[in-house]
Structure 1
Amino acid sequence: MRKILSVIGTTGVGKSNLAVDLCRTLRGQAINSDAMQASQVYKGLDIITNKMPLEERHGVTHHLMDFLDPEDEYKVTEFKRDATQCIEKLSNENQLPVLVGGTNYYMQSLLWRNTLIKETNGESDEEEDRSRSRSPSPEIVPELEVLETPELYDRLKQVDPIMATKWHVSDRRKIMRSLQIFHATGKPQSEIIKEQKAQKETHGAQPRFKALVFWLYADPVALYPRLDERVDKMIETGLFEEIKDLRRRVVAGSITLPGQELEKYQRGLWQAIGYKEFDPYFTAVEENTLEEPDTSPKFKLSELKKIKDECTERMKAATRRYARRQVQWIRNKFLPSVFDSKGDVLVYLLDAGDLDAWNTNVQQKAIDVARAFLEDRPMPDPASFGDVAAKMLSKSDAEDTHARVLNWKKHVCPVCITNKGEVAIMNGDLEWEQHKKSRWHRKSSKRKRMEELTANKPPL
């Protein structure tokens, strides 16, 4: 079984720096797995996709980076195929493959078998690895994309009522995904999840490689200010020029935003944090045909600055939310598979909260553990790397993905009505418990009781 290293963690935590350190020390090359919110697979656009500057790579070769046109999408099956080819090639050349990126779903699909719907439908890893075509993914169903969300939800209720009970009636992305899976496989998504769960319970997780994974972690108190500062630096170093260039290309017709209005920022490059967040600002500027904001006949400089500041904060908030989701994914979806891998996939959490202690807390620890891994020497206990590592890597805190999906349900509040006059729907038990404690629910419950008392009061 091929040996590989992998570096995972939140955006802005230093993954690329550690990957370069490992490659330079251990004769390796990096393989990029950032393919979603930081879509480094795309040509150019170095700022919006947070590519590591060439001078900071110190001559380390990076694969699967900077090769895709902005109008194209990079599917997880394509990544898995291309990354597998890179791993095979580098291993045959006695170079160490070091995967690095924040798209944990892509990383997980590469490390384990039978994690993709396509594989569950009968295509083996070997068959997929031999595939070389870039034909459109069978998951995209054009006739579905033109339908309104309520129509999609009605279709989902017909073909997969179990999944329909789990998604909000307005969550177009999740509804569409469940329908696409059904069209691609001929099976309801809920049935496939049950099959994957049963297979995992019977055979355990099935790694494709012997992998050592470094999880770089920083407490939000330390991480979030760094993320905010990075957004400010992106703006200072040319983010707006990249966004303006993309918008010009969209207007000129050389690039087309995918899908309908509700989902156009949920696919391909357009998921990259920054483009959609600054749409209100650039729309305000473009509607007044401005080159410089202070020449606007309709918008004063102060008004445009306010819009710009709001968009900047929106980008910072989106970046922080993305970081939280990345941690949740690792704990709830990645780690359960690691625990079932019977030692073929090892994870070590390294504390990257203090950048001044990087060499001691991150770089040297990672190099020492990697050398032991490559030389088949005894490995240290991951829990011995500190209290945070012991807690975050504990099995009791990690919940199996299949169990979460199958046990998850939505709750309809019997008393609360939204501003649109619709019943209030909460997604999952946690959101339901939080809603019951909310001021909105308390006021609605009180009003409901008063109405019942009035209705039951005998006439005078």
Structure 2
Amino acid sequence: MAAIKKIAAVVGSSGIGKSKLAVELCKALTGQVINADALQVYKGLDIITNKMPMDEREGIKHHLMDFLEPEEEYKVTSFLKDASQKIEYISSKNELPVVVGGTNYYIQSLLWNNTTIGDQRSASCEPEDTDFEFPEFDLLETSELYNRLAQVDPVMANKWHPSDRRKILRSLRIYHQTGQPQSEIVKSQKDHYEMHGLQPRYQTLVFWIYSDPVKLNPRLDARVDQMIDTGLFDEIKDLRDRVVQGEVKMPGIELEKYQRGLWQAIGYKEFDPYFEALEGGGVEPELLEKIKLECTERMKAATRRYAKSQIKWIRNKLLPTSLNSKDNQVIVYCLDAGNLETWDKNVKEKAIEIAQAFQMGQSLPEPKSLSEIANTMLTLETQMKDTQTKILTWNKHVCETCKTEKGEPLVLNGDKEWEQHKKGRYHRKYLKHLKMEEMRKAYFASKQAPAAKEPCDIH
């Protein structure tokens, strides 16, 4: 039986320095980079997709980057196939494959078996990893799609919010492609995991580069400003012109306009109001500048939210899964990148030392021993429930007390959201209001009762 291959993976939030560390590892250990960023696969558009400049790659070979046309989509099943082939190729040259990127469902599909629809018909929760298209669904309103899902897979309908079109569509597509409700596939997958355990594809050394958001967020904001200064608007304008000229096609359905392929890139949709005002003409310079600043802040906020979601995935999915991996084949180290002035000492040198021991089959240090940050982040309470358990135990709650703007009962998705709602100021304030209203009605009712019971005079 062939020995399991060794790879390294670099993960972390946007703007943390993943590509930098990947190049440093490849230089020190003789390796090649495999891109795991769903946007950096596209040709050109280097600024909006945050590709590492060529001069900073220092001659290190980068695979699966800069090869796809803008209107095409790169599914996770295609990534899995291509990345696996690249790992075989790089390993055959006795070099270390270093996977780097922020697209978490790419990383997930590569590190573990049975996490994509195309892999033994399993059912990952990620909405992007399905290969199947059903154009007729695009013509239906989200409410109709939700009703259809409720008929064929009520468990998944109960999980998704009625307005979450992407996830509703995904569950419907899985049902129509496989002939099975996604919830049943998930249950089967869960049973398989409980019987056989998690199945890593490779012996993987994962470096999680981390910085406290308080320190990271200003760096993210500065990077957006740098992107604008170095030509972001030129890239957006060129792409918009190509769309107008018919050279590039956007998704035809308005609701999915910015939810597929390249169009998900942070920056394109955020600056829509600015370019529409610019292209429309007749807008005063002061107003145009105001719109530009508002769009810039919108892009910065979206970038910060994305970085937060990446950290959430690492804490809630990568860490618990790696702890449950078979024979400890996936090991996660957290590197402190809070201070860029100490990058060499706290990130580069530690990563290289660990990776060299990993390659040579030597004993590795205890992950929590690297730093205070490592000890804190690797011992944080994580959501140890696997994805399958979360889906199968999901509860939807209806608050009959609180109403939406349309006057409908408020729907809360999941126990956590329900508990937060019950403790929320609005809910408690409204309950108090209702109680006072009942007391008021009772008071007036008691005042009217004696008058109603007074006997009439009999003569």
Normalising by structure 2, what TM-score? 0.91
1:226-283 Cα offsets, whole Å, 9 max, x none, are 0000001001111111111111111122222214212211110011111111111111
1:80 corresponds in structure 2 to 80
For 2:336 and 2:210, the matched residues in 1 are separated by: 5
1:402-439 Cα offsets, whole Å, 9 max, x none, are 22333333322221122233322222233323322333
In the alignment, structure 1 segments of 5+ residues that lack a partner are: 124-135, 289-296
1:81-109 Cα offsets, whole Å, 9 max, x none, are 00011111111122211100011110110
1:441 pairs with 2:427: yes
2:9 is paired with a residue whose SS is strand
| Deviation larger for 136-145 or 155-164 | 136-145
1:29 is paired with a residue whose SS is strand
For 1:268 and 1:420, the matched residues in 2 are separated by: 34
Q: 1:306 Cα shift?
A: 1.5
Contact 1:111 1:208 (C-alpha < 8 Å) held by counterparts: yes
2:172 corresponds in structure 1 to 179
1:415 pairs with 2:398: no
**Which structure: larger Rg?**
2
For 1:185 and 1:453, the matched residues in 2 are separated by: 57
Contact 1:117 1:192 (C-alpha < 8 Å) held by counterparts: no
Within 5 A, what are the aligned runs for 1:299-448?
299-341=283-325, 342-394=327-379, 396-399=381-384, 400-448=386-434
Contact 2:116 2:122 (C-alpha < 8 Å) held by counterparts: no
The aligned amino acid for 1:243 is I
Q: 1:42 Cα shift?
A: 0.3
Which segments of structure 1 move beyond 6 Å, counting only runs of 4 or more?
A: none
1:262 is paired with a residue whose SS is helix
1:213 corresponds in structure 2 to 206
The aligned amino acid for 1:376 is G
Contact 2:7 2:203 (C-alpha < 8 Å) held by counterparts: yes
For 1:371 and 1:162, the matched residues in 2 are separated by: 47
2:451 corresponds in structure 1 to none
1:15 pairs with 2:25: no
The aligned amino acid for 1:425 is V
Contact 1:277 1:315 (C-alpha < 8 Å) held by counterparts: yes
Number of aligned positions between the proteins: 436
Contact 1:411 1:427 (C-alpha < 8 Å) held by counterparts: yes
Within 5 A, what are the aligned runs for 1:68-107?
68-107=68-107
| Deviation larger for 93-102 or 180-189 | 180-189
For 1:246 and 1:118, the matched residues in 2 are separated by: 32
In the alignment, structure 2 segments of 5+ residues that lack a partner are: 124-128, 449-459
Normalising by structure 1, what TM-score? 0.91
Q: 1:120 Cα shift?
A: 3.3
1:414 is paired with a residue whose SS is strand
Contact 1:118 1:185 (C-alpha < 8 Å) held by counterparts: no
Within 5 A, what are the aligned runs for 1:7-406?
7-35=10-38, 39-121=39-121, 138-288=131-281, 297=282, 299-341=283-325, 342-394=327-379, 396-399=381-384, 400-406=386-392
The aligned amino acid for 2:64 is L
For 2:369 and 2:122, the matched residues in 1 are separated by: 41
For 1:158 and 1:220, the matched residues in 2 are separated by: 43
Q: 1:450 Cα shift?
A: 4.3
Contact 1:120 1:192 (C-alpha < 8 Å) held by counterparts: no
For 1:204 and 1:59, the matched residues in 2 are separated by: 40
- 1:226–1:210 CA distance, 2 compared to 1 (3 A): same
Q: 1:395 Cα shift?
A: 7.9
1:36-64 Cα offsets, whole Å, 9 max, x none, are xxx10000000000000011101111000
Q: 1:322 Cα shift?
A: 0.5
- 1:167–1:454 CA distance, 2 compared to 1 (3 A): farther
The aligned amino acid for 1:420 is K
The aligned amino acid for 1:286 is E
1:348 is paired with a residue whose SS is strand
1:6 corresponds in structure 2 to 9
